[in-house]
Structure 1
């Protein structure tokens, strides 16, 4: 199961605003095996989900799950069209969030984020 976590520039904290997130940790998890080392994926501006035109391959295609602190409904619909489920969390540590997902534990609730409200407004006019 491939799971990607949106991170801040330091690769150490879960990031919000997934559609604008450049830094992703991608884990290729296999049942019954230890947590693998993540692949670090850094997106270009053109590859950011808010800008990507779906006109070719993308480094985040093929994921089953994306984890982020915030995302608008347009982003979630867009990722659903890729076959990817988006999970929101208030966890700040990417590995802790991933371990909770894999063990079936509930993720921490998200915190208020003004960018999510702005994304919802933007999503009213989104192509997704």
Structure 2
């Protein structure tokens, strides 16, 4: 199973999954201890991606982020990806919790989600 953590700097969980360019990707099937760093090109950022070909996060089963709009969550669900939101700021602790089958700390109120939901209403997805 591949797990992708949206990050700002490969250490802190990013606030908005759809806008994240930096990701930590862990593949439990390879047995690798350290997740791989992935930097998306501007056209690969999920909020703007046109779904017109393969994507670097195509085979990911779980995405972890601090926030994501409803449209993003639904779009990922259609692709078979579960989105888990958390208030955990440390990317390595968030990854460890998912790998151990533990519940992530619930996300707190995020006023930016109001703007995100508004943008989703006007967005193509």
What TM-score do you get using the length of structure 2 for normalisation? 0.92
3-state SS in 1 of match to 2:123: coil
Distance 2:20 2:112 in 1: 13
Distance 1:103 1:62 in 2: 20
Distance 1:61 1:104 in 2: 22
Query: What does residue 2 of structure 2 align with?
Result: 2
**Contact map agreement 1:4 1:27 (CA 8 A) in 2:** yes
Query: What does residue 98 of structure 1 align with?
Result: 95
CA RMSD of aligned residues (A): 1.6
1:59 aligns with 2:44: no
1:100 is displaced (CA, Å) by: 1.2
Distance 1:76 1:122 in 2: 14
User: Which aligned segments of 4 or more residues in structure 1 are displaced greater than 4 angstroms?
Assistant: none
Q: Mind listing any 5+ residue stretches in structure 1 that lack a counterpart?
A: none
Residue correspondence of structure 1 range 3-42 to structure 2 within 5 A: 3-8=3-8, 10-30=9-29, 36-42=33-39
